[in-house]
Amino acid sequence: MANVVIIGTQWGDEGKGKVVDLLTEKADCVVRFQGGNNAGHTLVVNDQKHIFHLIPSGILHPDKTCLIGNGVVIDPGVLIKEINHLQEQGLAVTPENLVVSASAHVIMPYHRALDAAREKRKGKTKIGTTGRGIGPCYEDKVGRAGIRIHDLLDRTVFTEKLHRTLEEKNFLLEQFFHEPPLDPAAIEDEYLAYGERLAPYVESVSEFLYKMDRAGRNLLFEGAQGTHLDIDHGTYPYVTSSNTVAGNACCGAGIGPTRLHRVFGVAKAYTTRVGSGPFPTELLGDTGIRIREIGGEFGSTTGRPRRCGWLDMVVLKTSIRLNGLSGLIITKLDVLTGIPQLKIATTYRCGSTQRETLPPALSALETCQPVFEEFPGWEEDIRQVRRWADLPRNTRDYLLALEELTGVPLAIVSVGPGREETIILQHPFETS
């Protein structure tokens, strides 16, 4: 038995969906523990593309149980749409293989309205949120004014909470943001219908996991976004609204820390980020455009083009410290094929000092310049390679340098988007 956490080590979009899909073969339960439908996982299985926003990507495997933990904020309309879409494709999505936490908070229409209104008001200083209402929903959760999934199953409780909360939200929308108010009656009908549709899936994820753990099942915990979008440890304020680090698997799923055995971090062979915020290794010229086009670097959720840059050891080493990584999983290595000279940022020069980890202050980070080490690229097509020894010499040298610089062993190398386009060096569920 092993319980494994998979997290992103950069600014999200590292390819965690493919990794989780791959590891689900040896897992019994796959658990999403934070974020909302601002995350997106794109998978290619049998040449068919699947995009997930809330349901763990393990749903593509039969006889596996997928769980959405209490740490996730759920837009019920989006979740139902995902369920319907998968069912229309002939995939089983039933209360036997999908469990939704009764304690998860619900994204309401006023959360989306406030999210959009705030970004509009900020203009050029906007954070670059997805506009899905994630942040405002987490605000209500912390402010003890949130509506949870189990509230949708009780008309009296839901109606009372909705009307009390909407009075304040409409005041903000009308008086401060000069936006139209929302109709409580329309929201009431819509969301009670959502509750009725989701009711068969709703139970305590924490209790479910406790039973599975005691029965010796393998549990796989799936994070959304990446370490440097963490609300506490990321490049604040250009972050998401939840804790994306591995430690939040306990809080967001309701499992004790002694029950987590290993943490594996996913990193692209280069670096990307979406939206505003510092990005020291960003490539603004032709190479960055080339990586974006070949790598398909456009958001699964928003379609926004991602900013692309060289692999950054400072970013990666900070993630190693924050997450206590057992191993590294490298994705999209094939995208670098054909680039004559590759670079890895090994440190930052910040004024008169050298740094190997990110400074906590945004103002300090903005003054830092990356110090690069160069590596020869490769021309060979690596997408058909399945063994380490068959990789081109320069490809292996690049990966070995990455392993040496981080001090963390490589576990998996992805050489293409397909499930089978993978080299497994140490399987997270088989590591002793």
At 368-383, the pLDDT tens digits run 999 999 999 999 999 9
The residues spanned by each domain of the chain are 3-101+202-263, 105-198, 267-424
Lowest average pLDDT, out of 2-6, 14-18, 103-107, 345-349, goes to 14-18
pLDDT for position 432: 56
In the chain, the amino acid numbered 43 is L
Is the domain defined by 3-101+202-263 classed in CATH 3.40.50.261? no
The pLDDT confidence band at residue 89, using thresholds 50, 70 and 90, is confident
Architecture per CATH, 105-198: Orthogonal Bundle (1.10)
The pLDDT confidence band at residue 119, using thresholds 50, 70 and 90, is confident
Q: Tell me the two tokens of residue 276.
A: 């505003």
Nearest of 194, 126, 136 to residue 166 by alpha carbon: 136
List, in sequence order, every residue forming a beta bridge with 371; answer none if it has no partner.
347
Contact assessment for residue 413 and residue 399, using Cβ atoms and an 8 Å cutoff: yes
In the chain, the amino acid numbered 336 is L
pLDDT at 223 over 70: yes
Q: Tell me the two tokens of residue 301.
A: 């959720």
Whether residue 340 has a cis bond before it, omega within 30° of 0: no
Catalytic residue set? 13, 41
- pTM here is 0.93
User: What distance in Å separates the CA atoms of residue 79 and residue 83, rounded to the nearest whole number?
Assistant: 6
pLDDT for position 342: 98
Query: Which one is the CATH code of 267-424: 1.10.3720.10, 3.30.365.10, 3.90.170.10, 3.30.390.50?
Result: 3.90.170.10
Q: Which residues contact 304 (CB under 8 A, 6 or more apart)?
A: 274, 275, 298
User: What distance in Å separates the CA atoms of residue 107 and residue 252, rounded to the nearest whole number?
Assistant: 16
Q: What is the mean pLDDT of the chain?
A: 93
The pLDDT confidence band at residue 361, using thresholds 50, 70 and 90, is confident
pLDDT for position 109: 97
Q: Tell me the two tokens of residue 192.
A: 């009670």
Angstrom distances, CA of residue 31 to CA of 54, 60, 205, 359: 11, 14, 9, 32
The pLDDT confidence band at residue 90, using thresholds 50, 70 and 90, is confident
pLDDT for position 121: 85
Mean pLDDT score, 61-69: 94
Whole-number CA gyration radius for the chain:
22
Mean pLDDT score, 395-417: 97
What is the dihedral sign for C-alpha 395, 398, 402, 403? positive
